[in-house]
Structure 1
Protein backbone atom coordinates (compact mmCIF):
# COMPACT_ATOMS: atom_id res chain seq x y z
CA UNK A 1 0.00 0.00 0.00
CA UNK A 2 1.14 3.49 -0.65
CA UNK A 3 -0.16 6.95 0.06
CA UNK A 4 -0.82 9.78 -2.38
CA UNK A 5 -0.70 13.36 -1.08
CA UNK A 6 -1.75 16.21 -3.35
CA UNK A 7 -1.41 19.89 -2.42
CA UNK A 8 -3.68 22.33 -4.24
CA UNK A 9 -3.91 26.10 -3.95
CA UNK A 10 -7.00 27.89 -5.25
CA UNK A 11 -8.14 31.39 -6.02
CA UNK A 12 -10.30 32.56 -3.10
CA UNK A 13 -13.27 32.99 -5.43
CA UNK A 14 -12.94 29.37 -6.64
CA UNK A 15 -12.96 27.55 -3.29
CA UNK A 16 -16.71 27.02 -3.17
CA UNK A 17 -16.68 25.59 -6.70
CA UNK A 18 -13.82 23.25 -5.81
CA UNK A 19 -15.57 22.01 -2.66
CA UNK A 20 -18.80 21.45 -4.57
CA UNK A 21 -16.98 19.41 -7.23
CA UNK A 22 -15.09 17.41 -4.60
CA UNK A 23 -18.32 16.68 -2.71
CA UNK A 24 -20.01 15.50 -5.91
CA UNK A 25 -17.18 13.07 -6.70
CA UNK A 26 -15.62 11.99 -3.40
CA UNK A 27 -17.63 8.79 -3.06
CA UNK A 28 -16.84 7.77 -6.66
CA UNK A 29 -13.14 8.39 -6.09
CA UNK A 30 -13.20 6.43 -2.83
CA UNK A 31 -15.06 3.56 -4.53
CA UNK A 32 -12.56 3.41 -7.41
CA UNK A 33 -10.79 0.05 -7.61
CA UNK A 34 -7.72 0.10 -5.41
CA UNK A 35 -8.59 3.21 -3.37
CA UNK A 36 -8.88 2.32 0.31
CA UNK A 37 -9.01 5.72 1.96
CA UNK A 38 -9.64 9.34 0.99
CA UNK A 39 -9.51 12.53 3.05
CA UNK A 40 -9.53 16.23 2.26
CA UNK A 41 -7.67 18.71 4.46
CA UNK A 42 -7.65 22.50 4.54
CA UNK A 43 -4.73 24.54 5.82
CA UNK A 44 -5.65 26.42 9.00
CA UNK A 45 -3.64 29.53 8.16
CA UNK A 46 -3.78 29.64 4.34
CA UNK A 47 -7.39 28.66 3.82
CA UNK A 48 -7.05 28.57 0.04
CA UNK A 49 -4.67 25.58 0.32
CA UNK A 50 -6.09 22.04 0.38
CA UNK A 51 -4.59 18.57 0.51
CA UNK A 52 -6.00 15.24 -0.53
CA UNK A 53 -4.67 12.20 1.22
CA UNK A 54 -5.47 8.78 -0.20
CA UNK A 55 -4.37 5.15 0.24
CA UNK A 56 -3.98 2.93 -2.82
CA UNK A 57 -3.33 -0.79 -3.09
CA UNK A 58 -0.72 -0.24 -5.77
CA UNK A 59 0.77 2.33 -8.07
CA UNK A 60 -1.02 0.56 -10.94
CA UNK A 61 -4.38 1.22 -9.24
CA UNK A 62 -3.55 4.91 -8.85
CA UNK A 63 -2.42 5.10 -12.46
CA UNK A 64 -5.65 3.40 -13.61
CA UNK A 65 -7.58 6.07 -11.70
CA UNK A 66 -5.45 8.84 -13.24
CA UNK A 67 -6.27 7.48 -16.72
CA UNK A 68 -9.99 7.08 -15.98
CA UNK A 69 -12.87 9.21 -17.22
CA UNK A 70 -13.68 9.97 -13.58
CA UNK A 71 -10.28 11.56 -12.96
CA UNK A 72 -10.34 13.41 -16.29
CA UNK A 73 -13.76 14.86 -15.45
CA UNK A 74 -12.79 15.89 -11.90
CA UNK A 75 -9.42 17.30 -12.96
CA UNK A 76 -10.85 19.25 -15.91
CA UNK A 77 -13.09 21.13 -13.47
CA UNK A 78 -10.41 21.51 -10.78
CA UNK A 79 -7.38 22.58 -12.81
CA UNK A 80 -8.74 25.98 -13.96
CA UNK A 81 -9.39 26.95 -10.33
CA UNK A 82 -5.74 26.80 -9.22
CA UNK A 83 -3.71 29.90 -8.40
CA UNK A 84 -0.47 27.86 -8.26
CA UNK A 85 0.74 24.58 -9.71
CA UNK A 86 -0.43 21.58 -7.71
CA UNK A 87 2.17 19.37 -6.04
CA UNK A 88 1.85 15.62 -5.54
CA UNK A 89 3.78 12.96 -3.69
CA UNK A 90 3.47 9.19 -3.72
CA UNK A 91 4.91 7.85 -0.48
CA UNK A 92 5.25 4.46 1.15
CA UNK A 93 3.58 4.15 4.53
CA UNK A 94 6.23 2.94 6.95
CA UNK A 95 4.41 3.13 10.28
CA UNK A 96 1.02 4.01 11.64
CA UNK A 97 0.31 4.39 15.34
CA UNK A 98 -3.18 4.53 16.79
Structure 2
Protein backbone atom coordinates (compact mmCIF):
# COMPACT_ATOMS: atom_id res chain seq x y z
CA UNK A 1 0.00 0.00 0.00
CA UNK A 2 1.18 3.49 -0.89
CA UNK A 3 0.38 6.36 1.47
CA UNK A 4 0.30 9.82 -0.07
CA UNK A 5 0.47 13.23 1.62
CA UNK A 6 0.03 16.43 -0.35
CA UNK A 7 0.59 19.77 1.40
CA UNK A 8 -1.24 22.73 -0.11
CA UNK A 9 -1.11 26.34 1.02
CA UNK A 10 -3.87 28.66 -0.15
CA UNK A 11 -4.49 32.36 -0.29
CA UNK A 12 -6.75 32.92 2.74
CA UNK A 13 -9.50 34.40 0.59
CA UNK A 14 -9.64 31.15 -1.44
CA UNK A 15 -10.06 28.68 1.45
CA UNK A 16 -13.86 28.44 1.16
CA UNK A 17 -13.58 27.97 -2.61
CA UNK A 18 -11.08 25.14 -2.16
CA UNK A 19 -13.20 23.41 0.50
CA UNK A 20 -16.24 23.56 -1.79
CA UNK A 21 -14.17 22.19 -4.67
CA UNK A 22 -12.81 19.33 -2.56
CA UNK A 23 -16.27 18.56 -1.21
CA UNK A 24 -17.54 18.24 -4.78
CA UNK A 25 -14.89 15.74 -5.89
CA UNK A 26 -13.94 13.76 -2.78
CA UNK A 27 -16.39 10.91 -3.43
CA UNK A 28 -15.29 10.70 -7.06
CA UNK A 29 -11.66 10.43 -5.97
CA UNK A 30 -12.56 7.81 -3.36
CA UNK A 31 -14.29 5.83 -6.13
CA UNK A 32 -11.18 5.76 -8.34
CA UNK A 33 -9.87 2.24 -8.80
CA UNK A 34 -6.99 1.71 -6.38
CA UNK A 35 -7.94 4.51 -3.97
CA UNK A 36 -8.53 2.95 -0.58
CA UNK A 37 -8.80 6.05 1.64
CA UNK A 38 -8.91 9.84 1.32
CA UNK A 39 -9.17 12.60 3.89
CA UNK A 40 -8.55 16.34 4.06
CA UNK A 41 -6.67 17.83 7.00
CA UNK A 42 -6.36 21.51 7.94
CA UNK A 43 -3.48 23.13 9.81
CA UNK A 44 -4.14 24.13 13.40
CA UNK A 45 -1.68 27.03 13.48
CA UNK A 46 -2.04 28.10 9.85
CA UNK A 47 -5.62 27.60 8.71
CA UNK A 48 -4.70 28.18 5.07
CA UNK A 49 -2.55 25.02 4.99
CA UNK A 50 -4.26 21.77 4.05
CA UNK A 51 -3.07 18.22 3.52
CA UNK A 52 -4.67 15.41 1.62
CA UNK A 53 -3.89 12.02 3.10
CA UNK A 54 -4.70 9.05 0.92
CA UNK A 55 -4.03 5.33 0.59
CA UNK A 56 -3.46 3.76 -2.82
CA UNK A 57 -3.27 0.11 -3.77
CA UNK A 58 0.15 0.78 -5.32
CA UNK A 59 2.17 3.42 -7.17
CA UNK A 60 0.57 2.45 -10.48
CA UNK A 61 -2.92 3.19 -9.11
CA UNK A 62 -1.80 6.63 -7.95
CA UNK A 63 -0.15 7.35 -11.30
CA UNK A 64 -3.26 6.24 -13.18
CA UNK A 65 -5.30 8.70 -11.10
CA UNK A 66 -2.75 11.48 -11.66
CA UNK A 67 -3.15 11.00 -15.42
CA UNK A 68 -6.95 10.87 -15.30
CA UNK A 69 -9.35 13.55 -16.49
CA UNK A 70 -10.70 13.84 -12.93
CA UNK A 71 -7.27 14.76 -11.56
CA UNK A 72 -6.44 17.11 -14.42
CA UNK A 73 -9.69 19.09 -14.16
CA UNK A 74 -9.58 19.21 -10.35
CA UNK A 75 -5.93 20.28 -10.30
CA UNK A 76 -6.58 22.95 -12.94
CA UNK A 77 -9.24 24.49 -10.68
CA UNK A 78 -7.14 24.13 -7.51
CA UNK A 79 -3.78 25.39 -8.78
CA UNK A 80 -4.76 29.09 -9.13
CA UNK A 81 -5.84 29.13 -5.47
CA UNK A 82 -2.35 28.33 -4.10
CA UNK A 83 -0.07 30.89 -2.52
CA UNK A 84 2.88 28.46 -2.38
CA UNK A 85 4.08 25.52 -4.40
CA UNK A 86 2.38 22.31 -3.22
CA UNK A 87 4.54 19.52 -1.81
CA UNK A 88 3.86 15.80 -2.05
CA UNK A 89 5.26 12.69 -0.39
CA UNK A 90 4.60 9.04 -1.17
CA UNK A 91 5.54 6.59 1.56
CA UNK A 92 5.07 2.93 2.40
CA UNK A 93 3.73 1.89 5.78
CA UNK A 94 6.64 0.67 7.86
CA UNK A 95 4.93 -0.14 11.16
CA UNK A 96 1.20 -0.02 11.75
CA UNK A 97 -0.32 -0.25 15.21
CA UNK A 98 -3.80 -1.67 15.77
Match in the other structure for 2:4: 4
Report the Cα offset of residue 97 of structure 1: 1.4
Whether 2:53 is the aligned partner of 1:58: answer no
- Tell me the distance in 2 between the aligned counterparts of 1:97 and 1:16: 35
Aligned length in residues: 98
CA deviations over 1:21-70 (Å, ceiling 9, x no partner): 00000000011000000010000000000000000001000000000000
- Tell me the distance in 2 between the aligned counterparts of 1:27 and 1:96: 26
Q: CA RMSD in A?
A: 0.6
Whether 2:97 is the aligned partner of 1:97: answer yes
Please list every run of 5 or more consecutive structure 2 residues that lacks an aligned counterpart in the other structure.
none
2:21 partner SS: helix
Match in the other structure for 1:37: 37
- Tell me the distance in 2 between the aligned counterparts of 1:43 and 1:13: 16
Segments ≥4 residues shifted beyond 6 Å: none
Please list every run of 5 or more consecutive structure 1 residues that lacks an aligned counterpart in the other structure.
none
Report the Cα offset of residue 92 of structure 1: 0.5
Within a 5 Å distance, the mapping from 1:82-93 to structure 2 comes to 82-93=82-93
